[in-house]
Amino acid sequence: MGAAEEATVRKEDIRTAIQDVRPGLQKCYAPLAEHGAGDQRVVVRFTLVGQGTQGSFQDADIIESTLNDPLFLSCLLTELSQARFRAPWGTGAVTITYPFVFQSLARDGG
């Protein structure tokens, strides 16, 4: 009797899913950028559970953020929940920790 294969996910699959929702993530950040928030970093941890060929986004938490804006953080998590992830391979769930960097819309060209 073989051991169950631990669930895994390819980094490229995660990046692709997040790239697809990037416009929504930028919309979340745009009001803050317009008010001079500058460059910001947010780290999100979430779980992917396989449901057929799709990965179900669950248990998301902000584990680090240079911004303490509840509306922005809520918007960020809502947009991420819309991402279409591939199901992890193997059995069980995969915990992902993903950093996001948001940059100001306006740059001083000098």
**Residue 110 covered by a domain:** no
DSSP letter for each residue of 30-70: HHHHHTT--SEEEEEEEEEEEETTEEEEEEEEEEEES---H
The pTM of the full predicted model, rounded to 2 decimals, is 0.83
User: For the CA atoms of 65, 67, 71, 74, what is the dihedral angle to 10 degrees?
Assistant: -10
Q: What is the pLDDT of residue 110?
A: 39
A 10 A CB-CB count for 95 gives 12
CATH number at residue 91: 3.30.2420
Q: What is the pLDDT of residue 4?
A: 53
**Residue 53 C-alpha from the chain's centroid:** 19
Q: What is the pLDDT of residue 105?
A: 56
**Residue 21 covered by a domain:** yes
Give the range of the structural domain holding residue 22, as residue numbers without chain letter. Answer: 11-102
**Residue 22 covered by a domain:** yes
Q: What is the pLDDT of residue 2?
A: 47
For the chain, what is the domain count? 1
Tens-digit pLDDT string for the chain (110 aa): 445 567 899 999 999 999 999 999 999 999 999 888 888 999 999 999 988 888 889 999 999 999 999 999 999 999 999 999 999 988 889 999 999 999 875 554 43
**Residue 4 covered by a domain:** no
Q: What is the pLDDT of residue 38?
A: 85
| CB within 8 Å of 62: residues ≥ 6 apart | 42, 43, 44, 73, 76, 77
Cα-Cα end-to-end distance for the chain: 67
